[in-house]
Amino acid sequence: MQQARSGAVRKGFLRYQAGRKLMTSTRVDYRVVVIPCCCITKFYECLGCAELHAWYHTRNRARVLPPTALEIMSSERQYRREIASFGKMLHERGYVAAMDGNLSVRLDERRILATPTAMSKSMMRPSDMVIVDLEGRHISGRRAVSSEIAMHLLIYKLRPDVQGIVHAHPPTATGFAAAGIALNQPLVCEVVIGLGSIPLAKYGTPGTPELTEALEPLIPQFDAILMSNHGVVTYADTLHHAYMKMETVEHFSQIALVTHLLGRQQPLGHEELEKLMLARSKYQGSKSAAPLPLAVGCGEAGNHREVARCDSETSSPESAPKSRRAVTRHR
């Protein structure tokens, strides 16, 4: 009995030595250290103490986590870093100011990782994030969750394909939202392919059911929404794609603003939109299922080919008498 016990201790010691050697060789090798259940909630905060944890729990022969749980823990650490990184990018590009905006990621079927309230997105650390359930109840994290978490939860509920959400206040796009103007004109091919149309939701007070009620009819159909007098929310299959959609919205709004200042727009016509619909299914960077914006028709300011087609239709034999009458009236 004593011999078996000493053999087990020796085996555990050798296992610790092997883990220690791997840990000290490279940072990536930290993943080989088996961290027990009692440490999982603190592992992201005590990465430097992983060796001590391994020694303590090997010595005391504590129960260890299965590999699947370790993979989940590793993914959560990665999501925390991503949220902190994209939050900093939002602030650097002027898409948020002070403590505005919020981001979130769906961890699994019952947990959401989100940014905390009352904190600048440029100053967040991975350990500052909070975890809530699908009812918005706080599960873990030292800080409080954002008051706008209900908007995120509604999107996750209505869109099972969504894994990441970004809410920000990019100046130009928010200006359109404050002016009550939707970004629904087919002016740029890439925007039509990637986002389709960007609708405008009616105003709802942030952090109240009014906001979710205003967004609910639009969430199933669109991947980016302007919120009247508020800002923009984008969502996608990853947080990275959701952030990219936010950049696209702001870039497109700047282009649309230029066309307003120039006093002229040339939206794409029916034929061009049909081709873009086919291109959308082949376009590697787009997974959007949002409907395309309405095509411009004859008599509206369309592109050159559409105008030429309309001119040819009005100059056809069937329309010739009507044109002559119009000229006579003009004289």
- CA angle, corner 186, sides to 305 and 164, nearest 5? 145
β-strand pairing of 224-227 with 231-236: antiparallel
Give the pLDDT score at 38.
Answer: 44
135, pLDDT greater than 50 = yes
Taken in order 208, 211, 212, 213, the sign of the CA dihedral is: positive
Using pLDDT thresholds of 50, 70 and 90, give the confidence band for residue 8. low
Q: Which of 180, 168, 172, 178 is closest to 255 using CA atoms? A: 172
More reliable by pLDDT, 151 or 319? 151
pLDDT given at position 273: 86
Average pLDDT of the residues in 181-203: 92
- DSSP E strands in the chain: the ranges are 102-106, 111-114, 130-133, 138-140, 164-168, 200-201, 224-227, 231-236
pLDDT of residue 196: 86
CB 33 within 8 A of CB 24: no
Has residue 225 got a pLDDT over 70?
A: yes
**Is residue 2 scored above 50 in pLDDT?**
yes
Residues 71-78: what's their mean pLDDT? 77
Phi, psi (5° rounding) for residue 158?
A: -85, -20
Question: Which spans in 159-217 are helix H?
Answer: 171-179, 189-195, 209-215
Residue 44 has pLDDT above 60, yes or no: no
Average pLDDT on 126-145 reads 95
Judge contact between 134 and 112, C-beta under 8 A: yes
Most confidently predicted of 59-63, 213-217, 273-277, 280-284: 213-217
pTM score, whole prediction: 0.70
pLDDT cut 70: percent of the chain above it: 63
Q: What pLDDT is recorded for position 6?
A: 56
Res. 43 pLDDT band, cuts 50 70 90: very low
Written as six digits, the tokens of 273 are 């939109």
What is the Cα–Cα distance from 205 to 189, expressed in whole angstroms? 34
When computed from its CA atoms, the radius of gyration of the chain, rounded to whole angstroms, is 28
pLDDT at 206: 92
- Distance of alpha carbon 322 from alpha carbon 331, whole angstroms: 15
